[in-house]
Structure formats: C-alpha cells, structure tokens
Copies of this chain bind each other. A is one copy, B any other.
Amino acid sequence: MEKNELEQKLEMGRHSLAHVLAKAVLKLYPSAKLTIGPVVDNGFYYDFDLLDAKIEKEDFARIEKEMKKILNANEPFERLELNKKQALELFSDNTYKVELINDLPEGEIISTYKTGNDFVDLCRGPHMENTSKLQNWGYKIDKVNGAYWRGSEKNKMLSRVYVLAFTNKKDLSNYIANREDALKRDHNKLGRELEIFMTEENIGQGLPLLMPKGATIYKALSRFVEDEGEKRGYLLTKTPFMSKNNLFKISGHWDHYKDGMFILGDEEKDKEIFALRPMTCPFQYMIYKNSLKSYKDLPKRYLENSTLFRNESSGEMHGLIRVRQFTLADAHSICTPDQVEQEFKHALEFIYHTLDVIGLREDVGFRFSKWDPNNKKKYIDNPEAWESTQIILKNILDHLGLNYEEADGEAAFYGPKLDIQIKNVFGKEDTIITIQIDFALAERFDMVYVDEAGERKRPYIIHQSIIGCYERTMALLIEKYAGAFPLWFAPEQVRVLSVTEKAEGAVKEILAELKNLNIRAELDIRNEKISKKIRDASQEKVPYMLIIGEQELENGTLAVRERKGLQTAGVSRQDFYKAMLLEINNKVIKKD
C-alpha cells in the first residue's frame, strides 16, 4: 500500500472510531456531553464532559467491549447535512456543540454523521461505510487525561480519552512494543538510572553533571576525536570560553545572536563587557591570524572539543538534549578556493568514520540547509554570496552523490550547510552533525593568505562538528544501545566476580592485570550469591563478566560471560586480554 493511501485510510478509520468511542461512552455514561475528537499520530482522542462521573483505567475494558459491539453490529455511517438552525436544534442539549456551531459562518452547510439509530455527531467526515469495516482494526484505550475545554484554564476541565488505533492488530501491538522499548531507552530516564548523568536543583536546569560513567564515555569519545583528528592533519587548540564582546561584534553574533548568549557585565555601567561563547570559530581564526600564512601552509585544520553556551529558558531544558552548556567537537578548515571541495570531502570522511565507530552511520540522513531570503534579521544580507555559496555546496553534494533533502531557512547566519540528521528513539528528527561553508567570517575577521603571485587573498572556511555535540550524541547512543554500549566506549568494560571468598586474591590479581592494560575493569567480591552478582552486572550492562570459581582457581583460567548471556569456560587469561584489546582497538560494534 502506498504511504499516502495508508495515511488516508488511517485518517478515515481513526475518525470513524472516534464516533464509535463516543457512542460507546454515551451508552455507559448516558449523561456525558460530547465535545471534540480529533485524530492524532497514533490514533485519536475524544474530550468528554462526564459531569460527576469519571473514567478510570478499570473502565477501559468495558468501553472497548462496548465499541466492539458497535463494530459487530455493522452500523452504517450516514451523512446528514443541516443548516445552522437545524444543527443548533439537534444539539440544543449540548452547550459545547452549540458553541462550536455558533462559531461556524452563517449559511454554511453543517454535516453530521449518524451511527446506527441512536447516535449522531457533528463531523466534517468522510467516514468508512459502516462500522464492520473496522472490525479487523487494532485499537486500545491508552489513557485518560484532564484537558480544559478549548485549551483554556478558564474553561471546564474535561476528560480526554486517548485511543491507539491502527488498521490491524499487528500494527497496534508493534506500536505498543516499540513505544515501551523507547520509553525504556529514553536517555533522560535510562541515562539517570545507569548513573551516566544527573541534574541538580541548586545547579539548575540544562546543566547536566556527567557522573563517573558519563565522564568516562565522554573521555573515550573525545579522545577518539582528538587522536583521529591529529592523524587526519588537524591541529588541536584550547581557547577560552569567554571573550570581550568586541569579538562577537566582529563575528556578527552580537547582532544576530545576542539573545542566545550569556552576557557578563552591564553595557551601560561596565568598561569591558564579556560574553560566554556560543561558538569556537573566531577563537581559532585568531590563532590562524597570529602569523601570516602562505598558500603552502593551507589547508590549516583546527580542532577543539569546545565548550559552548546557550542562554535558553529553564522550561525548554531537557536531559542531555536541550542544555545551556555543551561540548562540541568543533573543527575549521581554512583553505584556498581550490581546496574547498577536497576539504569538504576530507571532513565528511572523518565524520563517516566517526559515525561508523559509534555505530550511527546507517541511522543518518542528509539535509542541505539554505538561507531564507526574506529573513533579514537571521541572515547576513548578501544575496549574491548566498546564491554563489549555495551553488558551490550543491555541486559538492551532487559530486559526492549524497542523497539529500533541501531545507530553506535552516542555514547558519553566515552560510549554507550540510546537516546530518538523525531520529531519536521517539522518532523526533534532529541535526547531529553539520558541515558549513562560510563566506562571511574570513572577510569580517580580515583573514588572508598569500597566494603564489604574492598577493593577499581571502581563504574559505569550512566549519565541521565531527561527532556533533557530545551531550546530544551521548543521548542518542544511550537510546540506540539502551545503555549496552560497544566495548570501546563502555564506561565499565569488564567486571571480575568472585564465586566465593576463596577467589578474592585471584580476582584482585586479574583486576590489576586488566587495569595495567588500560582496560576499564571493576571487581565484585561482595558477600553475595554469584547469581546476584551476575544480575547486577547485567543490569548495569557491563559487556564482559569474568566469573572466578573453584574450576577457574584450579586451572588458572577464566569463565567469560558476555552481556547477552553466552558463557564460555576455560578461557586463558592471555587469550581474553588479547581479544579485549583487539575489540577495543578496532572499535568493534557487536550486535547483542
């Protein structure tokens, strides 16, 4: 079935089911007043004024049974068209419907749908022919919430009944299973449970604290980016997190982005105004500018795991995703015009490799983000530069054979970009990594290089966020792996468990050997049953357990238990260590 056809079918069926729900509720709660019942992503809801009655979870089955009866009764959906007067008369005992009808323009024909002999509701339609067409659908009352009539706190609180609805029972059960899985994987829940991060009231929203496990994941990822970057010819920098506002005036952030910045000082009172930086670019440009560069020195590639700040309101903050402070793997290639395509490709290869080793390569899509010529406030007003840079970028993307979508009004204020897009576990799409071509800042910062003819020329700048913002990427990784991280960035890689007290010495010896190889290992020599120790390590998603019991003490071998449960006895220590180092160094991603 075509997507569009399926969508139409879902729309019509959910709409029809809303009438069925309303009829069923009226049957069980005869004094209930119907209001509205729109379709949503996963089904529909209906708002009822139940007067003194209440629908509780225990009532769902009864209502569903009533709905089933209506479907089995094969009742037709009959359209009736009325004028306003007739409609007001028909719904005169329902003040909500009267209010809705009164809001309609005079002279408009008002449609209603009748289901069976005893139920009619205002509705634009269309509907299925009859209720039996819904018999094979999968539907389920999801929950009941309070909701104000027309969304206003001044109005009465109604009962909103949510129903999940799909064209068949399998889709429904899949949806429910996926949602349960997503909720379990939600980084904002699982990340706290696994003690990867926390937030604290006195510190504030949007300022997550990476706990030892989170800090260790960050260490593994950020060192990978630095080391891999150095191999690929990037130079590391470490630049300050604040600056006098002079810098941001030159960059244009003071004009285009001031509201999003944390300002230190009062422009009217203080001689020097500082601001926390929202980006790294100009700091690396200043390093570039510290000595005059020749075309022979280009490209210059600078890389920094860079802390940035965004001044957003507390209400918008969420887990590791919406934060006030974050760390971006921020890189800039400064190159001659001839080198733009090669440098763009060079950056994309680094990003591909990064996505490969963290296992997200197959999950991403591409978006070519362009400016909005009508938004003079957001974008530098230089239409020619925009058009020409967008053509350059489009050509590069086409040469690379990327399959991308185009998006207007999504560019940075200083140039167009390639956004690497990803969906989180709830299906919400977001940008994880960008590569941007910048036509404005080299000019603003008066950056030059000396070309072969000895003349000073403007370089191009390619902005790249190699692994994106670590906090966001970590959130995606928590959700993707449900906390069961690939070995190379798992915070605890191996746990050594003693079966009895007798094994303590051996456990400590193995731990020391692992640590000596820079393998992140812990021990569990608590006075607990081995089954409990295994359960705890499994819950904390430790990739490998080494279980040291009688047999292992006798033979000097290891019983190795993988996270997914597979256990192998009689493994030699050296073989295990070798296998670990190989899996870590090759950044293997095992399918659990």
A562 located at the interface, meaning its Cβ lies under 8 Å from any Cβ of chain B in the complex: no
Pick the interface stretch among A39-47, A65-73, A207-215, A543-551. Answer: A207-215
Whether A204 pairs with B290 at a CB distance below 8 angstroms is: no
| Contact pick for A237, options B202, B204, B215, CB 8 Å | B215
| Contact pick for A287, options B198, B202, B230, B242, CB 8 Å | B198
| Contact pick for A286, options B198, B212, B223, CB 8 Å | B198
Bound CA–CA A209/B280 (angstroms): 11
Which residues of chain B are within 8 angstroms of A272 by Cβ–Cβ distance? 204, 314
Whether A212 pairs with B198 at a CB distance below 8 angstroms is: no
A241 located at the interface, meaning its Cβ lies under 8 Å from any Cβ of chain B in the complex: yes
Q: Map CB proximity to B onto A284-320 as digits: 1 under 8 Å, 0 otherwise.
A: 0011001100000000001010010100001000000
Whether A218 pairs with B238 at a CB distance below 8 angstroms is: yes
| Contact pick for A219, options B219, B226, B274, CB 8 Å | B226
Whether A195 pairs with B264 at a CB distance below 8 angstroms is: no
A399 located at the interface, meaning its Cβ lies under 8 Å from any Cβ of chain B in the complex: no
A240 located at the interface, meaning its Cβ lies under 8 Å from any Cβ of chain B in the complex: yes
| Contact pick for A241, options B214, B226, B264, B307, CB 8 Å | B307
Which residues of chain B are within 8 angstroms of A266 by Cβ–Cβ distance? 266
A382 located at the interface, meaning its Cβ lies under 8 Å from any Cβ of chain B in the complex: no
A324 located at the interface, meaning its Cβ lies under 8 Å from any Cβ of chain B in the complex: yes
Q: Map CB proximity to B onto A199-233 as digits: 1 under 8 Å, 0 otherwise.
A: 01111100111111011101100010011001100
A246 located at the interface, meaning its Cβ lies under 8 Å from any Cβ of chain B in the complex: yes
Q: Map CB proximity to B onto A228-270 as digits: 1 under 8 Å, 0 otherwise.
A: 0011000111111111101100100000000000111010000
Bound CA–CA A276/B240 (angstroms): 13
A325 located at the interface, meaning its Cβ lies under 8 Å from any Cβ of chain B in the complex: yes
Bound CA–CA A209/B290 (angstroms): 11
Interface CB pairs A-B, < 8 A, 14: A201-B246, A202-B246, A204-B242, A204-B243, A204-B272, A209-B240, A210-B237, A211-B237, A212-B237, A214-B238, A215-B238, A241-B241, A262-B264, A263-B264
A29 located at the interface, meaning its Cβ lies under 8 Å from any Cβ of chain B in the complex: no
A515 located at the interface, meaning its Cβ lies under 8 Å from any Cβ of chain B in the complex: yes
Which residues of chain B are within 8 angstroms of A276 by Cβ–Cβ distance? 242, 264, 276
A175 located at the interface, meaning its Cβ lies under 8 Å from any Cβ of chain B in the complex: no
A518 located at the interface, meaning its Cβ lies under 8 Å from any Cβ of chain B in the complex: yes
Whether B235 pairs with A212 at a CB distance below 8 angstroms is: yes
Which residues of chain B are within 8 angstroms of A198 by Cβ–Cβ distance? 286-287, 290
Bound CA–CA A263/B286 (angstroms): 27
| Contact pick for A209, options B211, B239, B264, B274, CB 8 Å | B239
A283 located at the interface, meaning its Cβ lies under 8 Å from any Cβ of chain B in the complex: yes
Query: How far is the CB of A282 from the nearest CB of chain B, in Å?
Result: 8
Extra 20 A-B pairs, beta carbons < 8 Å, given A203-B286, A242-B324: A202-B246, A203-B240, A203-B283, A204-B242, A204-B243, A207-B240, A207-B242, A209-B239, A209-B286, A210-B239, A211-B290, A212-B236, A219-B226, A227-B518, A241-B325, A242-B276, A242-B325, A264-B264, A264-B276, A266-B266
| Contact pick for A240, options B237, B250, B290, B325, CB 8 Å | B325
Which residues of chain B are within 8 angstroms of A520 by Cβ–Cβ distance? 230
Which residues of chain B are within 8 angstroms of A216 by Cβ–Cβ distance? 236
Which residues of chain B are within 8 angstroms of A314 by Cβ–Cβ distance? 272
**What 3 pairs between A and B have smallest CB-CB spacing?**
A212-B235, A210-B238, A207-B240
Bound CA–CA A307/B238 (angstroms): 12
Bound CA–CA A409/B230 (angstroms): 47
Bound CA–CA A264/B325 (angstroms): 14
Whether A287 pairs with B211 at a CB distance below 8 angstroms is: yes
Known contacts A210-B237, A212-B235, A264-B262; is A243 also within 8 Å of B286 by CB? no
- Among A218, A263, A304, A309, find the residue whose CB has the most chain B CB atoms closer than 10 A: A309
Bound CA–CA A12/B112 (angstroms): 113
Which residues of chain B are within 8 angstroms of A515 by Cβ–Cβ distance? 231
Q: Map CB proximity to B onto A517-530 as digits: 1 under 8 Å, 0 otherwise.
A: 01010000000000
| Contact pick for A203, options B207, B230, B247, B302, CB 8 Å | B247
Whether A307 pairs with B307 at a CB distance below 8 angstroms is: yes
Bound CA–CA A304/B226 (angstroms): 18
Whether A287 pairs with B209 at a CB distance below 8 angstroms is: yes
Which residues of chain B are within 8 angstroms of A227 by Cβ–Cβ distance? 518
Which residues of chain B are within 8 angstroms of A211 by Cβ–Cβ distance? 237, 287, 290
* CB-CB contacts below 8 Å: A42-59 with B: none
* CB-CB contacts below 8 Å: A355-403 with B: none
Which residues of chain B are within 8 angstroms of A204 by Cβ–Cβ distance? 242-244, 272, 274
Bound CA–CA A307/B215 (angstroms): 15
Which residues of chain B are within 8 angstroms of A235 by Cβ–Cβ distance? 212, 215
Q: Map CB proximity to B onto A438-457 as digits: 1 under 8 Å, 0 otherwise.
A: 00000000000000000000
Which residues of chain B are within 8 angstroms of A201 by Cβ–Cβ distance? 246
